[in-house]
Structure 1
């Protein structure tokens, strides 16, 4: 199965359009998402709201997940199982989120082949456009077998 995971995210997740997310790069297990600074999404400190930072990270993780496991969509539904975020610095300006699959794609597919519901981690670094790190996010995804 060959497809553009970034485009699929934008088409299948309307919220991504609400935030006007774009993808700079998407390849198996990696996605870089970008969101321009918007005053209507600011917090009381003048930067993107904490929920916005989390959302951009989660949407980046989704594109990385689809790029790694899109060929499994006919037999499993991807779902976020858990997530955690650590805010490290006030974000100001445009936001970039780089998401990477942690672990082995092969192990996840083997668990799915065995009839199990695998969970796997995608780590996301969120930074400003100048490269300043502002938060670290871990998103745990699962592939729920279609029955």
Structure 2
């Protein structure tokens, strides 16, 4: 499937190399989808087929045992996976999360990095599932959480 220009990816390319650009880019994404701001994320990388997002371990995202709460990691995974999908899917198509399966593999006791990746975008005329894998690692490189987010990708409808 051929990729055409994407406003989000163009914005990333303009901002990422500038001082504070990644932080500001992430704030703009969070203005569009405010719930993501609750984890105070920062995009680290963004390109078609791959994105990574950082989140600091702080009290506001803790659970009752002082580690990063499972739902904060789900939020992080959906942010990384959703924005990665947005810059990967051609402008002729649209997407929406359809479901997410998660695995909690270890206690999340440090700052975290979520890395989203996916294969080729489906080109089904009636729509198709597009699985996005997100691995969340701690500062020691241990995978503490894994998610597969099923995105539903369909061609955009022609406007009358």
Query: Normalized against structure 1, the TM-score is what?
Result: 0.83
Q: Which runs of 4+ in 1 moved over 6 A?
A: none
Per the alignment, residue 44 of structure 2 pairs with 24
Structure 2: tracts of 5 or more residues without a match? 13-24
User: How many pairs align?
Assistant: 137
Structure 1: tracts of 5 or more residues without a match? none
Q: What is the root-mean-square deviation of aligned Cα atoms in Å?
A: 1.8
Per the alignment, residue 21 of structure 2 pairs with none
Does the aligned pair in 1 maintain the 2:111–2:138 contact within 8 Å? yes
Cα distance in structure 2, aligned partners of 1:104 and 1:2: 17
Cα distance in structure 2, aligned partners of 1:56 and 1:3: 22
Cα distance in structure 1, aligned partners of 2:96 and 2:139: 29
Per the alignment, residue 16 of structure 2 pairs with none
Instruction: For residue 41 of structure 1, report the CA deviation from its aligned partner.
Output: 1.5
Does the aligned pair in 1 maintain the 2:6–2:87 contact within 8 Å? no
1:36 maps onto 2:59 in alignment: no
1:81 maps onto 2:98 in alignment: yes
